[in-house]
């Protein structure tokens, strides 16, 4: 039986959770794009500024996905009876009523216990790098109560690798200046590496905690607050009489504020608390920054500005299909997830300790955001463009705090940049962007265009034994890292991807009059297609790669991993073969990799470590890249299905990938955002369990799969190409989309219930020829598309 833990609010803008006891902490990200706070539905979580590895603020519990034992907890104590509970419900767990609402960048929790109603709100406002908490209480009992209210935050400042390795040593470097409303803390040990380094100096940021009501006590000493042999479930500072005032001790830094209040029947009480960053570059004294957070109006103004900001950003694209789940996802949650990915790359989630914001991932996140905000996308492309080397190599990571990075051995990375820039240029027509010069990681600078070309050059001229590009230390599939480590292994997927990227850059090369090079690239693409068809076709699907010793990977007859997904999907996207073969590829994918939740990466999963393939074979069978239902790769396949005009198939797969289509009591993770994968059929009883939530390229590809390939409005340099591929039961659907300063209102009609094909297109009531809408001539255009 499926348990109902929550549902979307009617307008889809909130996910409402009815119980604190969800199968996993269900989280949200609260952010202004710089300061980032993760918050579970019970207020667990941690925070950081821009880069979690180097700018930690609130501390993370290493088992957060299960225990959720650090966070923004509010303890309440009845001073008469001595009873203690938490307004968040967890970690103590006592409650009469509970409701949590995750919205766009905020989390609210309403709970009650013994007639005390609590209302908590957490968000990060746009104008300051601070998380803002509001605690509101109401006494609905018949007697006046003496309560103590305690807010608890635990800190891990700066470079968290040290904290994770040696917490007490790390804590020795904290310095705290107390004031009546809170404190300002600094940290005197920081180094620009993840892992210990001698190259240290004080962290340049400071962190403040302040409140709108002077607390009766403030303590920053963790051991004094918790007491020995205790934890967040029973802190001595709350349960006992004794809570020390001030800073002291050499244990970790906490921020605990205590307010003693009297609440008459019916009376309410509120306090706001801010925890945020003071940047030395602001040129002000910390106190000046902090003071404004001692006024409640700051919090309310910030709340208003926050909501307006996101409503504006999310409104650039809106769809209405006959499927409500798709609409909610597309119009609200997918977009929100996209922005979280866009700002923080593969930062920490509750499952993953987090890594650097990867080049490949960042480019795909930009690709997702382009239709929503060209300005943000452009700024990010500029930033990413700074992570290239003269020879066309790219770094693995694109950090946001100005650190140097080394070249990566993942061979596909530079090509993702080409894909994202080409898409940005189609969206904006901002061709001059190609001429912008950006510094190189090694020395000198090069233009955006040169970076794109150099990235292609690296791969286009390589030829392994079959004439395909070398796979080196891995391509899209991070965990297939040993296939070509000896320098001979080749990637079929990379060959396909390269062909696609050459198509993407071709119109730009025309504009740059780079004809000779383009002819060479196109010749190479033709050659690659020939090789792939002649040497990599296994009868019903394409081989995935060739190992160093020349043996193919992903072929019939292998016991494990006989079919891999991406070399089928990208054969379609890159138009590698004739339609019959491409359709056979899609059929094979569904037949061998199809599950009710999406598609697995490969089948069957590997059960023994194989040194000729790599890490992927070390994962448990059915998990991660080793045969899990991998949402990211599945979302590429939605695109491929739509390209082949298989509208029903595309929408069907889209629906299967939707988190809301899964049963929460088995799927376990959030039903309102995509997770990287759920366990595959080879995972036994765990099959279907979701994991690695939030930070995944799925967000970008699902979004674009719907807008550009299913609804089928795809920007080109000189207009919008219309090519819908839908579920034939969709009789009509609409989309609003901004394009080149104009708003387009699309209405699609499908009177004959077809899957694809366009009979007529009316632009502002004028029938147009063909399927390309010309560039806009006014601020708003109405487009009616009749399918058939
Ligand atoms: C993760 C990585 C992504 C990679 C994929 C497959 O999602 O972030 O870069 O392509 O796994 O390995």
- From 681, 710, 739, the end of a domain falls on 710
Q: Is the CB of 346 under 6 A from ligand 1?
A: yes
CA 195, CA 187: separation in Å to the nearest integer? 17
Ligand 1: residue whose CA is nearest its atom 10: 476
Q: Is the dihedral of CA 746, 751, 753, 755 positive or negative?
A: negative
Asked if residue 177 and residue 213 are part of one domain, the reply reads yes
pLDDT band at 2 (very low <50, low <70, confident <90, very high): low
Q: Is the CB of 476 under 6 A from ligand 1?
A: yes
CA 646, CA 648: separation in Å to the nearest integer? 6
Asked if residue 620 and residue 543 are part of one domain, the reply reads yes
Asked if residue 231 and residue 153 are part of one domain, the reply reads yes
Q: Is the CB of 360 under 6 A from ligand 1?
A: yes
- From 312, 346, 368, the end of a domain falls on 312
Asked if residue 292 and residue 148 are part of one domain, the reply reads yes
Residue among 478, 614, 695 to mutate when testing ligand 1 (max atoms within 8 A of CB) = 478
Predicted confidence (pLDDT) per residue in 242-255, tens digit: 677 777 777 899 99
Asked if residue 307 and residue 345 are part of one domain, the reply reads no
CA 666, CA 191: separation in Å to the nearest integer? 42
Mean per-residue pLDDT of the chain? 96
Asked if residue 750 and residue 684 are part of one domain, the reply reads no
Asked if residue 685 and residue 739 are part of one domain, the reply reads no
Q: How far is the CA of 396 from the centre of ligand 1 (A)?
A: 12
Asked if residue 324 and residue 242 are part of one domain, the reply reads no
For the CA of 358, the closest atom of ligand 1 is 9
Domain residues for the domain of 138 are: 6-312
Asked if residue 393 and residue 297 are part of one domain, the reply reads no
Q: What are phi and psi of 59, to 5 degrees?
A: -75, 145
CA 747, CA 786: separation in Å to the nearest integer? 9
Q: What is the pLDDT of residue 63?
A: 85
Tracing tokens 């957060």 back to the chain, one arrives at 64
Domain presence at residue 620: yes
3-state helix, strand, coil in the chain (%, to 5): 30, 30, 40
Q: What is the pLDDT of residue 194?
A: 82
- Asked whether the predicted pLDDT for residue 1 surpasses 60, the reply is no
Q: How far is the CA of 36 from the centre of ligand 1 (A)?
A: 22
Q: How far is the CA of 548 from the centre of ligand 1 (A)?
A: 22
Domain presence at residue 490: yes
Predicted confidence (pLDDT) per residue in 165-206, tens digit: 888 899 999 999 999 999 999 999 999 888 888 889 999 999
Burial annotation 748-772 (CB, 10 A radius, 16+ → b, else e): bbbeeebbbbbeebebeeeebeebb
User: What is the pTM for the complete model shown?
Assistant: 0.97
Mean per-residue pLDDT for 664-681? 97
Mean per-residue pLDDT for 506-523? 97
Q: Is the CB of 632 under 6 A from ligand 1?
A: yes
Predicted confidence (pLDDT) per residue in 709-768, tens digit: 999 999 999 999 999 999 999 999 999 999 999 999 999 999 999 999 999 999 999 999
Q: How far is the CA of 678 from the centre of ligand 1 (A)?
A: 14
Residue among 697, 698, 699, 701 to mutate when testing ligand 1 (max atoms within 8 A of CB) = 697
Q: Is the CB of 733 under 6 A from ligand 1?
A: no
Q: What is the pLDDT of residue 588?
A: 98
Q: What is the pLDDT of residue 437?
A: 98
Q: What is the pLDDT of residue 316?
A: 94
Q: How far is the CA of 675 from the centre of ligand 1 (A)?
A: 12
Asked if residue 322 and residue 298 are part of one domain, the reply reads no
Supply the DSSP symbol for 31.
Answer: E
Predicted confidence (pLDDT) per residue in 524-581, tens digit: 999 999 999 999 999 999 999 999 999 999 999 999 999 999 999 999 999 999 999 9
Burial annotation 234-249 (CB, 10 A radius, 16+ → b, else e): ebbbbbeeebbeebee
The strand pairing partners of 356, in sequence order, are none
- Supply the CATH number for residue 495's domain: 1.50.10.10
Asked if residue 341 and residue 229 are part of one domain, the reply reads no
% of residues, the chain, pLDDT over 90: 91
Q: How far is the CA of 630 from the centre of ligand 1 (A)?
A: 10
Give the number of domains in the chain.
3
Q: How far is the CA of 347 from the centre of ligand 1 (A)?
A: 13
- Is 293 within 8 Å of 222 (Cβ atoms)? no
Predicted confidence (pLDDT) per residue in 395-419, tens digit: 999 999 999 999 999 999 999 999 9
Predicted confidence (pLDDT) per residue in 452-478, tens digit: 999 999 999 989 999 999 999 999 999
Asked if residue 229 and residue 164 are part of one domain, the reply reads yes
Ligand 1: residue whose CA is nearest its atom 7: 696
Residue among 361, 474, 633 to mutate when testing ligand 1 (max atoms within 8 A of CB) = 361
Q: Is the CB of 434 under 6 A from ligand 1?
A: no
- From 270, 291, 312, the end of a domain falls on 312
What end-to-end distance do the CA atoms of the chain give, in Å?
42
Q: How far is the CA of 477 from the centre of ligand 1 (A)?
A: 6
Domain presence at residue 1: no
Domain presence at residue 54: yes
Q: How far is the CA of 136 from the centre of ligand 1 (A)?
A: 42
- Supply the CATH number for residue 743's domain: 2.60.420.10
Q: What is the pLDDT of residue 165?
A: 84
Q: How far is the CA of 486 from the centre of ligand 1 (A)?
A: 22
Mean per-residue pLDDT for 4-30? 96
Q: Is the CB of 676 under 6 A from ligand 1?
A: yes
């Amino acid at each position: 039986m499926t348990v109902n833990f929550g549902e979307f609010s009617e307008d889809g803008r909130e996910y409402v959770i009815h119980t604190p006891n969800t199968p996993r902490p269900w989280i949200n990200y609260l952010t202004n794009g710089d300061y980032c706070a993760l918050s579970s539905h019970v207020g667990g979580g941690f925070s950081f500024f821009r880069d979690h590895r180097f700018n930690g603020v609130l501390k993370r519990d290493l088992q957060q996905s299960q225990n959720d034992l650090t966070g923004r907890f509010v303890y309440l104590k009845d001073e008469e009876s001595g009873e203690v509970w938490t307004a968040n419900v967890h970690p103590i767990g006592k409650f009469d009523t509970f409701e949590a609402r995750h919205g766009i960048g905020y989390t609210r929790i309403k709970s009650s216990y013994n007639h005390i109603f609590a209302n908590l709100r957490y968000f990060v406002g746009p104008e300051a790098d601070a998380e803002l908490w509001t605690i509101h209480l109401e006494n609905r009992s018949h007697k006046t109560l003496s309560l103590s209210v305690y807010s608890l935050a635990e800190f891990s400042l700066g470079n968290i690798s040290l904290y994770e390795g040696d917490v007490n040593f790390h804590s020795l470097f904290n310095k705290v200046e107390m004031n009546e409303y809170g404190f300002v803390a600094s940290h005197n040990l920081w180094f620009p590496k993840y892992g210990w380094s001698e190259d240290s100096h004080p962290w340049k940021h400071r962190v403040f905690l302040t409140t709108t009501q002077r607390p009766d006590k403030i303590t920053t000493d963790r051991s004094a607050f918790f007491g020995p042999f205790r934890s967040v479930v029973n802190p001595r500072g709350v349960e006992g009489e004794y809570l020390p005032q001030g800073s002291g001790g050499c244990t970790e830094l906490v921020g605990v504020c205590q307010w003693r209040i009297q609440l008459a029947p019916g009376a309410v009480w509120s306090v706001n608390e801010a925890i945020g960053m003071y940047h030395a570059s602001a040129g002000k004294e910390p106190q000046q920054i902090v003071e404004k957070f001692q006024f409640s109006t700051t919090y309310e103004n910030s709340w208003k500005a926050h909501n307006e900001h996101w409503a504006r950003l999310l409104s650039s694209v809106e769809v209405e299909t006959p499927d409500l789940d798709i609409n909610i996802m597309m119009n609200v949650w997918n977009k929100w997830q996209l922005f979280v990915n866009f700002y923080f790359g593969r930062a920490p989630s509750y499952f993953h300790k987090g890594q650097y914001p990867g080049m490949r991932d960042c480019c795909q996140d930009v690709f997702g955001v382009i239709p929503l905000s060209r300005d943000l996308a452009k700024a990010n492309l500029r930033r990413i463009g700074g992570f290239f080397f003269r020879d066309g190599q790219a770094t693995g990571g694109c950090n946001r705090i100005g650190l140097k990075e080394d070249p990566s051995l993942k061979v596909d990375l530079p090509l993702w940049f080409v894909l994202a820039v080409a898409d940005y240029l189609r969206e904006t027509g901002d061709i001059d962007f190609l001429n912008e010069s950006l510094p190189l990681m090694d020395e000198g600078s090069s233009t955006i265009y040169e970076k794109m070309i150099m990235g292609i050059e690296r791969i286009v001229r390589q030829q392994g034994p079959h004439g395909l590009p070398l796979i080196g230390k891995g391509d899209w599939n991070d965990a297939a890292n040993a296939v070509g480590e000896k320098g001979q292994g080749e990637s079929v997927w990379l060959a396909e991807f390269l062909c696609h990227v050459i198509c993407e850059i071709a119109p730009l090369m025309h504009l740059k009059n780079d004809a000779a090079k383009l002819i060479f690239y196109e010749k190479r693409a033709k050659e690659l297609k020939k090789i792939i068809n002649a040497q990599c076709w296994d009868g019903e699907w394409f081989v995935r790669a060739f190992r160093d010793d020349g043996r193919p990977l992903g072929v019939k007859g292998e016991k494990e991993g006989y079919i891999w997904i991406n070399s089928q999907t990208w054969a379609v996207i890159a138009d590698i073969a004739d339609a019959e073969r491409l359709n056979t590829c899609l059929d094979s994918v569904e037949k061998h990799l199809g599950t009710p939740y999406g598609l697995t990466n490969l089948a069957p999963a590997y059960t023994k470590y194989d040194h000729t393939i790599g890490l992927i074979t070390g994962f448990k069978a059915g998990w991660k890249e080793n045969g899990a239902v991998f949402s990211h790769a599945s979302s590429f396949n939605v695109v491929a299905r739509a390209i082949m005009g298989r509208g029903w198939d595309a929408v069907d797969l889209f629906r299967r990938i939707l988190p809301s289509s899964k049963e929460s009591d088995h799927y376990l993770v959030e039903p309102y955002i995509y997770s990287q994968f759920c366990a595959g059929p080879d995972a036994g009883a765990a099959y279907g369990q979701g994991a690695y939530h939030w930070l995944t390229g799925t967000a970008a590809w699902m979004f674009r799969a719907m807008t550009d390939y299913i609804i089928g409005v795809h920007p080109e340099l000189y207009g919008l190409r219309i090519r819908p591929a839908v579920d034939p039961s969709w009789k009509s659907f609409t989309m609003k989309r901004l394009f080149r300063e104009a708003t387009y209102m699309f209405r699609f009609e499908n009177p004959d219930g077809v899957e694809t094909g366009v009979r007529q297109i009316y632009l502002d009531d004028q029938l147009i020829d063909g399927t390309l809408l010309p560039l806009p001539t006014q601020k708003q255009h109405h487009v009616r598309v009749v399918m058939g």
